[in-house]
Amino acid sequence: MNLNYAQQKKSSYLQWFIGGGVTLAIISVLVIRTLMMQGLPYDEMFLSSYALVDSLEIPPRPGIAGIIITGPKIEPVYFKIDVQRAGLRKLDWDEIVAWDRTADVKIRATITDDGSLVFDEVTDVYCPGHTSAGRIIASVVKTWAYTPYKTGTIRFWFNVASTGQKLTIDVRGLKRKPGIPGKIDVFNGLLYYIDGLSRRDVNSNGIVRF
């Protein structure tokens, strides 16, 4: 009876000891964990120990490697009839048709540095059989002036009788002026100053042979 009591008492102590030990161990783990976390920033609180081995590379921010200051837009320029020039005269296609409905006039001209159109009415105007139409057309064309972006030879072919392209302008002899920086694009704009002629009747890159 006494022995049984002693055994039971011993077993009871053992149970208390094991239970208390487990509890204390868990509490100790929690306390240690809490203490370890106290000094850490929030981001690092949950990082596992192996993660600390890796180092994060801070990406360089824009502006550290260099600076780019965006400049102004480089606008293209247009080689075209300069309507601001004084003395510019407009050709009326209907009038030409009224004068000579079969007129066939070719003009070879030079565009100077300032954009003026220069030609000799004797040597540079080719109009066999249509002299009066040639003279009238040449007198108007002579007043034309262009924006000063290209120089060289320009040829016109006024083919009044044509049902297709009534005006052909050969611009292959034109070159951009040397003073214009290469980064500026020079485009061709309106190369004629004529009323009563639609755009589809004009070929501005055609070949004109005398």
Partner 1 sequence: MAFKPWNSNKRKMQLVSLIDMVFILLVFFLVTIFIVREPREEMRLAVPTPENKPGRAQILIQLLPSDEFFMIDESAMPVVESVFRDVENRFGYLSVQNLQQKKKEVVFRVLTERFTYPAEQLSHKIQQLLNKANRSPNEKYFVLIRCPDEVPYARVIEVIEKLSQAQYNNVIYGCVGGSLEEIRNCKQIRIVTEIDEKGIKRDNLWITF
Binding mask 5-34 for partner 1 (x = CB under 8 A): x--xx--x--xx--x--xx--x---x----
- The torsion region of residue 196 among left (phi > 0), alpha (psi -120 to 50) and beta comes to left
> What's the token pair of residue 146?
């262009």
**Nearer of residues 74 and 118 to partner 1, judged by Cβ:** 74
Binding mask 59-88 for partner 1 (x = CB under 8 A): xxxxxxxxxxxxxxxx--------------
Shortest distance, position 175 Cβ to partner 1, whole Å: 21
Instruction: Determine the size of the site formed for partner 1 (CB under 8 A).
Output: 32
Q: Say how far apart CA 140 and CA 153 lie, in whole Å.
A: 18
Quick one: 125 exposed, middle or buried, by C-beta within 10 A (0-12, 13-18, 19+)?
buried
CA atoms within 13 A on the CB side of 179: 6
**Nearer of residues 114 and 185 to partner 1, judged by Cβ:** 185
Residues that bind partner 1 (CB under 8 A): 5, 8-9, 12, 15-16, 19, 22-23, 26, 30, 43, 46-47, 59-74, 183, 185
